[in-house]
Amino acid sequence: MYMVTIDAEKCVGCNQCASACPAKILAMADGKAEVCGDCAECLGCQTCSISCPVGAVTVMEF
């Protein structure tokens, strides 16, 4: 299982994470990224955190 968190203070709304997520669990809302889907479907691929230019996405396994 993975926990995906977005730091809204850091997020600049570039959509890179949401467009890159193969599980489609990230989306944009009010100019910020947010987790819109079920974290249980997260693959833990880290594509979102790698693609974020400001380091706003954290993926933790638990």
Which chain residues interact with ligand SF4 by CB under 6 A? 2, 4, 6, 11-17, 20-23, 25-26, 33, 42-48, 51-52, 54, 56-57, 59
Shortest CB 30 distance to ligand SF4, Å: 12
* Least spacing, CB of residue 56 vs ligand SF4, in Å: 4
As given in the structure block, the two tokens for residue 58 are: 């954290």
Q: Minimum Å distance from CB 62 to ligand SF4?
A: 13
Nearer to ligand SF4, 23 or 30 (CB): 23
d(CA 38, CA 55): 22
How many other C-beta atoms are found inside a 10 Å radius of the C-beta of residue 51?
16
| Measured distance CA(40)–CA(36) in Å, rounded | 12
